[in-house]
Amino acid sequence: MNFEYFLAKRLIKGAAHKISISAPIIKIAITAIALGLVMMLIAVGTGVGLKYKIREKVAAFNGHIQISNYDNNASDVSVVPVSLNQDFYPEFKGVDGISHVQAVASKGGIIRTEETFEGILAKGVGKDYNWDVFEEYIVDGTLPDYSGELNEQVLMSRLMANRLNLKTGDSFYAFFLKDDDVSKMPNQRRFTITGLYDSGFEEFDGVYLFVDIRHIQRMNKWDEDQVGNFEVFLDSFDDIQEKSKEIYGKTLSTLDTQTIVDKYYKIFEWINLFDFNILLIIGIVIIVSGFNMITALLVLILERTQMIGVLKALGSANWSIRKVFLYNAAYLIGIGLFWGNLIGLGAILLQQRFRILKFPNPQEYYIDYIPVYIDVPTVLLLNVGVLVLCLLMLLVPSYIITKITPVKAIQFE
């Protein structure tokens, strides 16, 4: 039998322990552990959730990796076409971890109505386009269907529709300059809005208009097998840099690859700061919780001074007695972790299900509600980390037990 564990269990279950002078301090320490874990879980859940949601939206408009011709300029407009006849299209079999490849083309233009006008970036997509990532952003109407004959259906953002005073079902004219001779009359196209989307990403919602890619091909005088670029979606975002290098090595020397991390580096530099904020919060909370536990342990030791003297008189080693109080502290930390997990995970699940909390300024965070994400390994790591770090912090104050002499301790009141 583990003597230290047995003695610690008797102390915990003893009635004197519950009515002792240390009881309020112990409750405060448990509450501090619980509240600390709640703060850490919420910090991790909201920070990681926001980061995942933002990069998910960027990928929805651009894919994870783009393959284009080296001769294209630095803008988003497709200039030099790429042939569809590639080894990696429609399926990229040469590199693992790729879920989808789609061909797109973009062209700048202007939408003009009787009242106003707006600059746009018409993104031409075809029957291979993966609309799954856009389904949750549809706020009115339906997605366009480009699987049949060339049609006038377009998907417009609600932001752009409000600026132009348009709605689902309305038709409008868009004008596009001719690349070969800008002095000529621009290309004119009549489109009909089949659906409205709202991603909350004003940088994209304010310019992107989804049209049939065949309109772009005709205006640019491209062949049917020519597109602007390819968008590649990965199974795991964490592999984006590694997969980008692999894809670059598997494509023609005339083709270049670019990740959304490189293309929108300012956005990703910003969301990478979330990790620092999360670590800072975790560090502060662990320190505060640790000091609360140190206070509780010192009070427990003070309250059990006579018992320590008796154990020493009976021949118990200092480390053996220290282990008794460390077991006791681990039990108290465990209670705090239990309630912390219950409250913290419960709050995260409620937010995930009902989206109760909203951002006061959605445009600053590219989303109107606070997204959350629960990662089981991270939750387990937090619990183990809090337990281990708090116990390590308690090793120092428990050293006071070695300074207690049996004679003085037994006489202590």
Looking at this protein, which amino acid is placed at residue 345?
Answer: L
Encode pLDDT of 147-159 as tens digits. Answer: 999 999 999 999 9
Residues 49 and 76 reside in one and the same domain:
no
pLDDT digits (tens, 9 = 90+) for 230-243: 999 999 999 999 99
80/126 same-domain check: yes
Residue 63 domain-assigned?
no
pLDDT tens per residue, range 306-319: 888 888 888 889 99
- Mapped onto helix, strand or coil, the DSSP state of residue 360 is coil
Q: Does position 70 have pLDDT exceeding 70, yes or no?
A: yes
Instruction: Give the tens place of pLDDT for each residue, 330-350.
Output: 999 999 999 999 999 999 999
Residue-averaged pLDDT of the chain? 90
Residue 262 within a domain: no
- The answer to whether residues 139 and 274 belong to one domain is no
**Residue 352 and residue 242 share a domain:** no
pLDDT of residue 407: 72
Q: Is the residue at 231 inside a domain?
A: yes
| Mean local confidence (pLDDT), 279-297 | 91
Question: Are 193 and 223 found together in one domain?
Answer: yes
The answer as to whether 260 is a domain residue is no
Residues 41 and 93 in one domain: no
**Are 46 and 77 found together in one domain?**
no
Indicate whether 263 belongs to any domain.
Answer: no
Residue 66 lies in a domain: no
- Spatial neighbors of 45 by CB under 8 A, at least 6 apart, are 344, 348, 372, 373, 374
Q: Domain of 326? A: 3-57+268-411
| Total number of domains in the chain | 2
Question: What integer pLDDT is reported at residue 379 of this predicted model?
Answer: 95
Confidence check: pLDDT of 83 > 60: yes
Q: Per-residue pLDDT for 403 more than 80?
A: yes
Is there a single domain that holds both residue 226 and residue 336? no
Q: Are residues 329 and 386 in the same domain?
A: yes
DSSP-derived secondary structure for 47-104: HHHHHHHHHHHHHHHH-SEEEEETTS-SSSS--S-EES--TTSS---SSTTEEEEEEE
Q: Are residues 323 and 346 in the same domain?
A: yes
What per-residue confidence (pLDDT) applies to 13? Answer: 75
Do 75 and 150 fall within a single domain? yes
- In this prediction, residues 144-173 reach a mean pLDDT of 96
180 and 97 in one domain? yes
pTM: 0.87
184 vs 362, residue with greater confidence: 362
Q: Is the pLDDT of residue 20 over 70?
A: no
76 lies in a domain?
yes
**Residue 90, preceding bond cis, omega within 30 degrees?**
yes
CB 216 within 8 A of CB 106: yes
Confidence of residue 216 (pLDDT cuts 50, 70, 90): very high
Half-sphere exposure of 204 (CA within 13 A, CB side): 22
Look at residue 96 in the predicted model and tell me its pLDDT. 95
Q: At which of 218, 253, 288 does a domain end?
A: 253
